[in-house]
């Protein structure tokens, strides 16, 4: 079974051109099949505000009304996605920039209204990803670069969490490839002390994860990231790594970096 790396980069990498270029060089050097997923929340927020549209966030999640959806479509699928694709072409990766609507690769459902109306936000299921179509791209020599947009099959684009997309892609493609899911952001990995970069937790299993949550070592935005990661492992993904974008180049042979999540 061939190897596949599914890699998600955070906004802090995208926002810093030097970090982004370093990451994209390391990404290009990574052998075998690979998929890149990105968001771009900070840029979307800045452009929204410049256009007089206030960003509305609840628990780190963006409320996506129709004006916000238009802006994130322009920013995610246009400005950020095509810049990343152009830079990858420069470094020798034959990248192709995509939303979930392209090729019917990722189909979502609009999040139902419960206590909060999130607007045009998409939720994924175990039927959302079309692994056969994505595999055709990989086998043809293309490297997919997905932004955080999906569609509902009825003509509606939906803003969808990039971490969730990465996890869903890794799970769906693990039936075809030996898949490693990697979350790259601005920290070395999961830290015992968020203010101490040297307090890296190198391995976490589900039992330790529960203890870290109970002790408030892991909290806020890191919880959905790790929930997605452990769900991916339980569904066939070989391993999940969370680490600094600058350290991706260490991923050679049997070497690893950041925090590795295990069963």
Please report, in range form, the residues annotated as the binding site for substrate: 40-41, 62, 159
DSSP summary character for residue 258? S
| Close Cβ partners of 146 (under 8 Å, ≥ 6 residues apart) | 35, 36, 37, 38, 98, 99, 100, 105, 106, 165, 169
Long-range contact set of residues 109-118: C-beta below 8 Å, sequence gap at least 24: 109/152, 110/152, 110/156, 110/158, 116/58, 116/63, 117/63, 118/58, 118/61, 118/63, 118/64
Bridge partners of 5? 34, 180
- The SS3 of residue 9 is strand
Binding residues: 40-41, 62, 159
Give backbone dihedrals phi and psi of 30, rounded to 5 degrees, phi first.
Answer: -70, 125
Alpha-carbon distances of 135 from 4, 34, 98, 221, rounded to whole Å: 10, 11, 14, 31
In a 10 Å sphere around its CB, with 0-12 CB exposed, 13-18 middle and 19+ buried, how is residue 25 labelled?
middle
Q: Which helix (H) or strand (E) covers residue 52, if one does?
A: none
Asked if 222 contacts 201 with a C-beta cutoff of 8 angstroms, the reply is no
Asked if 68 contacts 124 with a C-beta cutoff of 8 angstroms, the reply is no
């Amino acid at each position: 079974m061939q190897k596949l790396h599914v890699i998600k980069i955070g906004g802090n990498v995208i926002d810093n051109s030097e970090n982004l270029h370093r990451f994209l060089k390391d990404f290009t050097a990574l052998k075998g099949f690979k998929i890149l997923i990105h968001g771009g929340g900070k840029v979307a927020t800045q452009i929204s505000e410049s256009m007089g549209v206030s960003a509305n966030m609840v628990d780190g999640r963006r409320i996506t009304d129709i004006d916000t959806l238009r802006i994130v479509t322009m920013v995610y699928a246009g400005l950020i996605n095509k810049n990343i694709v152009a830079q990858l072409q420069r470094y020798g990766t034959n990248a192709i920039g995509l939303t979930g609507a392209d090729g019917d690769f990722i189909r979502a459902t609009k999040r139902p209204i419960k206590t909060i109306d999130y607007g045009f936000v998409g939720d994924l299921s175990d039927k959302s990803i079309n692994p056969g179509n994505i595999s055709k791209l990989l086998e043809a020599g293309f490297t997919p670069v997905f932004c955080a947009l999906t569609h509902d099959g009825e003509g509606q684009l939906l803003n969808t969490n990039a971490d969730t997309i990465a996890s869903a892609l890794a799970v769906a493609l693990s039936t075809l490839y030996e898949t490693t899911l990697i979350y790259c952001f601005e920290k070395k990995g999961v830290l015992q002390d968020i203010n101490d970069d040297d307090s890296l937790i190198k391995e976490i299993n589900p039992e330790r994860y529960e203890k870290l949550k109970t002790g408030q070592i892991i909290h806020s935005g890191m919880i959905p990231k790790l929930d997605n990661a452990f769900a991916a492992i339980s569904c066939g993904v070989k391993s999940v790594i969370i680490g600094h974008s600058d350290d991706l180049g260490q991923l050679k042979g049997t070497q690893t970096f950041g925090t590795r999540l295990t069963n």
